[in-house]
Amino acid sequence: MAEPLKIALAGLGTVGVGVIRLIEANAALIARRAGRPLQVTVVSARDRSKPRGVDLSQYAWEDDMVILGERADVDVVVEMVGGSDGPALALARTTIEAGKGLVTANKAMIAHHGLELAAKAEDKHVALKFEAAVAGGIPVIKALREGTAANQIERVYGILNGTCNYILTVMEDTGRDFADVLTEAQAKGYAEADPAFDVEGTDAAHKLSILAAIAFGAKVDFAHVETSGITRLRAADIAQAEALGYVIRLIGMADTAAGGLFQRVQPHLVHCDHPLAHVDGATNAVVAEGNFSGRLLFQGAGAGDGPTASAVVADLIDIARGEVGAAFSVPVSELEELAPAATGHRLGRAYLRFMVADRPGVLAEITAALRDAGVSIESLIQKGRAGDSGKVMVAMVTHEGPESAVSEAVRLLDGSASLSEPPLVLHILDN
**Residues labelled as active-site residues:** 207
Buried b / exposed e along 350-374 (16+ C-beta atoms within 10 A): bbbbbbbbeeeebbebbbebbeebe
Backbone angles phi, psi at 22, to 5 degrees: -65, -45
Spatial separation of the C-alpha atoms in residues 40 and 24, rounded to whole Å = 9
In whole angstroms, give the CA distance from residue 29 to residue 136: 21
Residue of 230, 255, 100 whose CA lies nearest to 170: 230
Contact call for residues 67 and 76 (beta carbons, < 8 A): no
Give the per-residue SS3 of 162-189: HHHHHHHHHHHHHCCCHHHHHHHHHHCC
- Residue from 161, 159, 155 nearest 295 by CA: 155
Contact 46, 33 (CB under 8 A): no
Closest CA to 302 of 228, 250, 241, 253: 250
